[in-house]
Amino acid sequence: MRRIALSRLLWVALLGLHAPAAQADGALPLARQVFLPAAHPHRVVLGTNQGLFVSEDDGSTWRMVPESVVANGNLVFGYQLGPDETVYSVNENGLSISTDLGCTWSQSTFSTSLVPNDLFPDPNDPLTVLVIARPLDFSASRLYRSRDRAAHLDEVLYDDASATLLGVEVPRGEPATVYVSGFTTGDGGQSVPFVARSDDDGHTFSVSAHPELDNQVAWILEADPADADHVYLRVGLSGVDSLQLASDAGSSLTTLLQLPGAMGAFTHGDDGTIWVGDVAGHLWSSQDGGFELQAGPRTMCLGFRGGVLYSCGSRGSDGFDLGKSTDRGHTFLPLLNLLSSQGIVATDCSGGPDGGNADGGQSAHDAGTGAPDGGTRLISPKPMRCACSTGDGGLALLIIAVVARRPRRRH
């Protein structure tokens, strides 16, 4: 499952705060995350800084849930989709949860004195959610776990006063395994990235430090769905990233792809293809360990399902905020322009959360526990956590974005 690169999302959100007013929420519209539920092959869920967009017909028409509805008027930094299609919103007021694709929302009891940096729904259990958060004074972060869809987060799994945590992941099919990435800071201010793994449901962790990364920062992108010992990382500093593979419980790192700049998005297709894009218009793909480069959109999100590649792009350069490709990224068909109302047929749930189950499927809440999406985790160009993925951020957001973006202390 792709995690929300919250740090990146946050960054994008922050940029939006200062962008020229263009929509009702006063920010220049940006598409930041796409989710493609396996249980509903025609459903597309798009997270933007204007709100949540849901399509039941492969992106031909859309229902919009305004950001003001999602977070009761507060700024939303990012979304995540659980294996039962519960939608989670990380926002200025903490965490909000919807079990009907955004029609209604409830607020988590998670303390407002804590700032979430990452949120990851367990792909093996729709009730379990893991959250990394730190207090407003930005002291050491902790890993929390909820067993009730994030309504309460009162179980602490990882607490190290010397560590800043950046990412968490539970491999599909391995519910007792938990990965965490972050960094520690020495007395001289040098940050040392690490990957930690637990094989006993988060009770104990083995920690592998990686001083060879030379003060860079490592975010978890995904645990390989075919091999729980393999974890994909986004490693970078100062706007230059690489895709790396961690193995042997996180102790070994292998560089798979060195990017010329910041990573924009990552996704692992249901056909095994790995896709990586950046905001400069480069698109890489790999099916056998070697990456092929081609021209692509100015990528802010990626998702792949059933032979179709989805990408968040640039309206100015690519002609769309969300587009899709059926020829492995060589050409893209525009699906949504956030500055146009074309295709947006509803802004409420009067017809039900899924418009009457347009795809003949289940309601969101009973969709089962299969692969929740073929979409993106927030990364950020080291902005908010979706590479910017946009990932994490906030009021303190701004600080968080910075935190996530740079090595510890420069955060």
DSSP track, 251-286: TEEEEEEE-SS-EEEEEE-TTS-EEEEETTSEEEEE
For 326-363, give one letter per residue: b (16+ CB within 10 A) or e: eebbeebebbbbbeeeebbeeeebeeebbbeebbebeb
Q: Please state the rounded mean pLDDT for residues 20-31.
A: 58
SS3 215: coil
**pLDDT grade, residue 273 (50/70/90)?**
very high
Whole-number Å distance between alpha carbons of 353 and 336: 20
Average pLDDT, rounded, for the chain: 82
Distance (Å, rounded) from C-alpha 194 to C-alpha 197? Answer: 10
Give the pLDDT score at 375. Answer: 58
Q: What is the pLDDT of residue 374?
A: 57
More confidently predicted of 371 and 21: 371
What global pTM score does this model have? 0.83
Task: Find, among 90, 24, 26, the residue nearest to 347 by Cα.
Answer: 24
| Contact indicator for 271, 283 with CB cutoff of 8 Å | no
Beta bridge partners, 116, equal 133
Give the number of C-alpha atoms closer than 13 A to the C-alpha of residue 23, restricted to the C-beta side.
19
The pLDDT of 202-219, averaged and rounded, is 94
pLDDT at 244 over 60: yes
**3-state percent breakdown (helix, strand, coil) of the chain, nearest 5:** 10, 40, 50
Q: Which residue has the higher pLDDT, 117 or 3?
A: 117
Determine the pLDDT at residue 74: 86
Q: Which residue has the higher pLDDT, 164 or 409?
A: 164
Band of pLDDT at residue 319, cut at 50, 70 and 90: very high
pLDDT reading at 7 higher than 90:
no
193 by DSSP, 3-state: which? strand
User: What does the DSSP assignment read for 285-298?
Assistant: EESSS--EEEE---
Tell me which amino acid residue 51 is.
G
Q: How sure is the predictor about 389, in pLDDT bands with cuts at 50, 70 and 90?
A: very low
**What was the pLDDT predicted at 376?**
54
Which pLDDT band holds residue 365 (cuts at 50, 70, 90)? very low
Q: Is the pLDDT of residue 314 over 90?
A: yes
Comparing 1-15, 68-82, 296-310, the range with the smallest average pLDDT is: 1-15
What pLDDT sits at residue 11?
A: 35
Whole-angstrom distance, CA of residue 301 vs CA of residue 317: 15
Distance CA 72, CA 362 (A): 28
> What pLDDT score was predicted for residue 353?
61
- Alpha carbon 310 to its chain centroid, in Å, reads 15
Highest mean pLDDT among 5-14, 271-280, 382-391: 271-280
Q: Give me the mean pLDDT over the 186-202 stretch.
A: 90
Q: In sequence order, which residues have a C-beta less than 8 Å from that of residue 271 and are 6 or more positions away? A: 287, 304, 307
What DSSP assignment string belongs to 79-139?
EEE-TT--EEEEETTEEEEESSTTSS-EE----TTEEEEEEEE-TT-TT-EEEEEEETT--
Q: Which residue has the higher pLDDT, 138 or 329?
A: 329
Q: What is d(CA 269, CA 278) in angstroms, rounded to the nearest whole number?
A: 17
CATH number for the region 6-262+341-410 comes to 2.120.10.30
